[in-house]
């Protein structure tokens, strides 16, 4: 079913709006960041060094496509059996225009350009959908898109993940794992077993994220990676599941001996309180230092590291169940599946990590396969995806078992799994527009109609505005890491003072300015959401459209709000499309006819050509208002529901 039936959209919007822009037919427009050819040349300035991070992208394996297609066919068979069982009429297959828009949003996190739409729709190759899926999974847009997905789940923060410890190295490591397509089980295992400081081993950021909260950390880990919520059993036997408080403590015992902070008086620092000692010395080096928190980004952050101290967990002092005694020391024990064997000399969390990521674990592969299915279809085979119980009934048990087995077969290769699902008939059908509420049966006649995520909306605007949306790269973590990462046992006040000066130096400031200047527009940095600081501050476009504050797991929102309406009507992000520097402007004026320009606008915003009626309305608007009418048409289309939804 087309969104055209539920949007009301263009006809009303454009007819009720006039002259929003100074969109004129200048032939000298340029893209953001490319300069203006009409300006007189300036005296060349000395080049500024802009550090970059080497990016290695792992493509999908061309040799496994036939096997992936065979697996997709098996998924089709299992879904179609359910259609017969429940007397479901599947949706028609999506048109090329619908498919190309959907698969770009789902895999690359943005709408396609009008040229990409035209190229795909004009292609007569019968395998063009499978080939496009492979291309998108192999490009940088994939890692950018799924970084945003994991940022919401893992609560990634560029600023501080705990007391004065920067999150940038950890965030960058997650992105690199996606770029190289690190197997999911290895990705998780490395986070759970990481040791050291975040600069030396960025994967340690996962454990540092819940520093000082060992019981909450276990609850979060089981919820994220095993799709199971045991948090209620932290204080009492679970009221809605079978987990007991003792079982919760037995699980937490695996990681309770993992510490995240050294004491300032640790003997490795030479005796005495190293922080107080260095603060006293700093007063002699920096006459403006009052002994406060000015240098905490060096002094406190370098106390934080992940290591095993062998601490043992005991039941709480007020434990009241018959299966244990207050303050009783607890032996680690898994809650389901095969037991975790702790080898001699091995930290219990290593055994826990092996157990959790094992193919034999009954919920590890099932949880990630179910999460990714929901990412593509809008609904999981099991709902909620993070609250699986023993009696949870999948929509299609045979399909759920097959998807779980496929995740194991491909050795937790997430790209290969997505390749399979995207090649199914169910994924390539028209979207279902009916509202599905918790508890409703949904048998996947097609993907569920859903609003774009905040990051998809933002990145789609970037695609329409910027020449090379994937070109910008945020400052590599190593720039600050080489200054912040110090050995407190050897550090001197002079060293810290000089490092702090370098952090604030003109070289770093000039480098950042040179990096960002070409991409700025009215105070906004026009780059992919994954390259912006995470999360953005309240009031930013991304936060207004539902980006989470990264304080809790998966609390992003796709609900509408008044600030969103105001942002779309009058915000700088919509109006930037009408500027002479935008790619939208450039692409429109490159066409010489009115019909050609209207086609560009529709294909850029909605990934399709206009209907006959829509073309008539658009043409009438342009004839009535001249070149400004093109701006009115653009503005009207980006304010439709059709633009904001993945159909």
Burial of 390 (0-12, 13-18, 19+ CB in 10 A): exposed
Q: Do the beta carbons of residue 377 and residue 369 sit within 8 Å? A: no
User: What pLDDT shows up at residue 130?
Assistant: 98
Among 539, 523, 519, which Cα is nearest to 531's? 519
Burial 314-345 (b: 16+ CB within 10 A, else e): bbeeebeeeebeeeeebebebbeeeebebeee
Whether residue 364 has pLDDT greater than 50: yes
Note the pLDDT tens digit of each residue in 385-410.
Answer: 999 999 999 999 999 999 999 999 99
User: Running DSSP on this structure, what letter comes out for residue 107?
Assistant: I
C-alpha pair distances (Å), 316 with each of 233, 236, 326: 12, 11, 6
Q: At what angle do helices 214-226 and 364-377 cross, to 10 degrees?
A: 70
Over residues 206-226, the mean pLDDT reads 97
User: What pLDDT shows up at residue 17?
Assistant: 45
User: What pLDDT shows up at residue 240?
Assistant: 83
Q: Do the beta carbons of residue 411 and residue 365 sit within 8 Å? A: no
CA atoms lying within 13 Å on the CB side of residue 579:
17
User: What pLDDT shows up at residue 437?
Assistant: 82
Two structure tokens written together for 599? 């086609």
Q: What percent of the chain has pLDDT over 70?
A: 93
Note the pLDDT tens digit of each residue in 501-514.
Answer: 999 999 999 999 99
User: What pLDDT shows up at residue 439?
Assistant: 77
User: What pLDDT shows up at residue 438?
Assistant: 76
What residue segments make up the domains of the chain, in order of their start?
A: 4-29+457-470+527-646, 62-143+363-448, 158-356
Whether residue 34 has pLDDT greater than 60: no
| Sign of the dihedral defined by the CA atoms of residues 106, 109, 111, 117, in that order | negative
Q: Do the beta carbons of residue 104 and residue 111 sit within 8 Å? A: yes
Note the pLDDT tens digit of each residue in 35-87.
Answer: 444 556 666 677 899 999 999 999 999 999 999 999 999 999 999 999 999 99
Separation between Cα atoms, residue 550 and residue 390, nearest integer Å:
30
Could you tell me which residues come within 8 angstroms of residue 346 by beta carbon, excluding any fewer than 6 positions away? none
Over residues 332-340, the mean pLDDT reads 95
Cis before residue 112, ω within 30 degrees of 0?
Answer: no
User: What pLDDT shows up at residue 32?
Assistant: 47
Where are the alpha helices (H) located in 290-413, listed in sequence order? 296-299, 348-356, 364-377, 397-409
Over residues 354-358, the mean pLDDT reads 98
Over residues 115-126, the mean pLDDT reads 98
User: What pLDDT shows up at residue 46?
Assistant: 75
Note the pLDDT tens digit of each residue in 588-628.
Answer: 999 999 999 999 999 999 999 999 999 999 999 999 999 99
Among 571, 575, 427, 339, which Cα is nearest to 103's? 427
pLDDT category, 158, cuts 50, 70, 90?
very high
pLDDT category, 18, cuts 50, 70, 90?
very low
Q: What is the DSSP string of 377-437?
A: HSS-SSSSTT---TT---SSHHHHHHHHHHHHHTTT-HHHHHHHHHTSTTTTBPPB-S---
Find the distance separating the first CA and the last CA of the chain, reported in whole Å.
9
Two structure tokens written together for 109? 């996190």
| Sign of the dihedral defined by the CA atoms of residues 78, 80, 84, 87, in that order | positive
Phi, psi torsion values for 646, nearest 5 degrees? -95, 110
Burial of 566 (0-12, 13-18, 19+ CB in 10 A): exposed
Whether residue 2 has pLDDT greater than 90: no
Name beta bridge partners: 525: 520
Burial of 619 (0-12, 13-18, 19+ CB in 10 A): middle
Two structure tokens written together for 224? 């994220």
Whether residue 332 has pLDDT greater than 80: yes
Mean pLDDT across the chain, nearest whole number?
Answer: 92
Q: Do the beta carbons of residue 231 and residue 249 sit within 8 Å? A: no
User: What pLDDT shows up at residue 37?
Assistant: 45
Note the pLDDT tens digit of each residue in 531-564.
Answer: 999 999 999 999 999 999 999 999 999 999 999 9
Domain spanning 4-29+457-470+527-646: which CATH class is it, in words? mainly alpha
Label the pairing between strands 304-308 and 520-521. Answer: unpaired
Whether residue 150 has pLDDT greater than 80: yes
Q: What percent of the chain has pLDDT over 90?
A: 88
Whether residue 15 has pLDDT greater than 60: no
> Which of 17-26, 107-116, 134-143, 163-172 is predicted least confidently?
17-26
| pTM reported for the whole predicted model | 0.93
Q: Do the beta carbons of residue 381 and residue 394 sit within 8 Å? A: yes
Separation between Cα atoms, residue 295 and residue 299, nearest integer Å:
6
Q: Do the beta carbons of residue 104 and residue 456 sit within 8 Å? A: no
């Amino acid at each position: 079913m087309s969104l055209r039936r539920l949007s009301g959209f263009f006809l009303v919007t454009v007819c009720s709006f006039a002259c929003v822009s100074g969109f004129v037919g200048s032939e000298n427009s340029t893209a953001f960041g490319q300069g203006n050819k009409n300006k007189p040349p300036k005296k060349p300035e000395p080049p500024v060094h802009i550090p970059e991070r080497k990016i290695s992208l792992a493509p999908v394996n061309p040799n496994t496509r036939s096997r992936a297609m065979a697996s997709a066919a098996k998924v089709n068979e299992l879904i179609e059996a359910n259609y017969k069982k429940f007397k479901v009429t599947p949706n028609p297959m999506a048109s090329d225009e619908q498919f190309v828009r959907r698969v770009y949003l789902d895999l690359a996190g943005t709408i396609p350009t009008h040229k990409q739409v035209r190229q795909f729709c004009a292609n007569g190759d019968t395998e063009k959908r499978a080939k496009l899926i492979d291309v998108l999974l192999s490009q940088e847009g994939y890692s950018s898109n799924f970084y945003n997905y994991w940022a919401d789940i893992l609560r990634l923060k560029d600023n501080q993940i705990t007391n004065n410890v920067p999150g940038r190295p950890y965030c960058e490591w997650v992105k690199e794992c996606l770029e190289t397509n690190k197997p999911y089980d290895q990705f998780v295992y490395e986070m759970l077993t990481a040791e050291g400081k975040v600069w030396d081993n960025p994967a340690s950021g996962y454990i540092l994220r819940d520093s000082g909260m060992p019981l909450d950390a276990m609850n979060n880990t089981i919820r994220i990676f095993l799709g199971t919520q045991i948090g209620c059993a932290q204080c009492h036997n679970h009221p809605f599941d079978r987990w007991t408080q003792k079982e919760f403590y037995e699980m937490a015992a695996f990681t309770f001996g993992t510490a995240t902070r050294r004491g300032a008086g640790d003997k490795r620092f030479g005796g005495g309180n190293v922080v107080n000692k260095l603060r006293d010395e700093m007063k002699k080096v920096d006459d403006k230092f009052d002994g406060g928190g000015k240098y905490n980004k060096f002094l406190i952050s370098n106390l934080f590291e992940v290591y095993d101290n062998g601490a043992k967990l005991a039941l709480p002092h007020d434990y009241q169940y018959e299966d244990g005694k207050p303050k009783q020391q607890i032996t680690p024990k898994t809650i389901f599946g095969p037991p975790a064997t702790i080898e001699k000399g091995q930290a219990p969390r290593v055994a826990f990590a092996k157990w959790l990521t094992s193919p034999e674990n009954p919920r590890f592969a099932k949880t990630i396969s179910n999460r990714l299915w929901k990412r593509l279809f809008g609904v999981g085979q099991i709902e909620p995806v993070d609250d699986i119980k023993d009696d949870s009934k999948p929509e299609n048990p045979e399909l759920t078992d097959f998807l779980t087995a496929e995740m194991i077969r491909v050795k937790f290769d997430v790209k290969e799994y997505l390749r399979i699902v995207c090649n199914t008939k169910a994924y390539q059908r028209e979207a279902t527009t009916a509202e599905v509420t918790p508890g409703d049966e949904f048998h996947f006649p097609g993907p569920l109609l859903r609003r774009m995520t905040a990051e998809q909306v933002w990145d789609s605007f970037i695609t329409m505005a910027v020449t090379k949306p994937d070109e910008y790269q945020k400052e590599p973590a190593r720039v600050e890491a080489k200054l912040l990462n110090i050995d407190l046992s050897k550090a001197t006040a002079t060293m810290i003072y000089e490092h702090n000066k370098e952090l604030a130096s003109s070289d770093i400031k000039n480098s950042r300015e040179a990096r960002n200047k070409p991409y700025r527009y009215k105070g906004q940095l026009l780059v992919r959401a994954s390259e912006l600081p995470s999360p953005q501050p309240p009031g930013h476009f991304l936060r207004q459209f539902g980006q989470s504050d990264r304080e809790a797991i998966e609390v992003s929102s796709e609900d509408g709000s008044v600030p969103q309406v105001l942002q779309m009507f009058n915000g700088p992000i919509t109006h930037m499309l009408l500027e002479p520097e935008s790619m939208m402007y450039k692409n429109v004026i490159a066409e010489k006819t009115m019909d050609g320009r209207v086609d560009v606008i529709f294909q850029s915003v909605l990934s399709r050509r206009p209907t006959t009626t829509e073309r008539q309305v658009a043409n009438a608007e342009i004839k009535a208002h001249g070149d400004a009418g093109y701006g009115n048409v653009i503005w009207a289309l980006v304010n439709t529901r059709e633009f904001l939804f993945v159909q």
